[in-house]
Structure 1
């Protein structure tokens, strides 16, 4: 019985440490132009594909909380999205919460490939604590913890529970 409790404590601490690295520091925002269209457009679809293609180049890149913007040796969630979108003509602010203020909000049902997706964490009191890129087919391209940049299904327990909304931004 004691061994079982010890294992539970180790798993709980490890989970807390992984999730603790998901919130990033903030800096002043730089505006991005919102895509105000509701219906999918060819421009939006091709932009989303370009964003995903750019992000794919960094699959497996290690996660590091507070990673330096522009450094491609490591990423945290918002430095990854900032870098990938920047390579596609959209300047995003640093920090997941600040990025959540950019673009036009979209619901889960209306997500398109390339939309930013925002998630709460247990310790963020319902506020944004993580950002990724919607990759289509119910998947998110993001980085956190072990494994670094990767795809996860949005039905993954913590992503499903924590989903807040998406935003759509396009180049100016």
Structure 2
């Protein structure tokens, strides 16, 4: 129990961010809780082959997949409003919201493998090794998929009129 509590303190925010970008629900806290409950029940199966963070995000990924199967929903606009500082000038705020909406829409239009790698590498900034461990892929597959996903994401942003939005 103490180990899971420690991991929650260390990685809870990253699990929350992963689920927030992946999900279209205001119940992200519930999904984070479900992730850590599953981790608690399965901690004896954690072998240490990967970091606790990648193991937890793998569990969160499965929780998200289960949720999507049940609901078939995507990330909502309301989630992005919580991410913007109220100190921004209104013009800049509108630009930021438009860019985030465009990126969200473009990510949602990617095929599932591309969505996963964009969220993990681009948004959560996991390393290639961590992403490979989380997805159960080779590092090579992560690199190739990341490259292809960014190329596809750029295309979606350009066709959506957001060619000025930067994609790494």
**What TM-score comes out, normalization by structure 1 length?**
0.24
Larger strand proportion of the pair: 1
**What TM-score comes out, normalization by structure 2 length?**
0.24
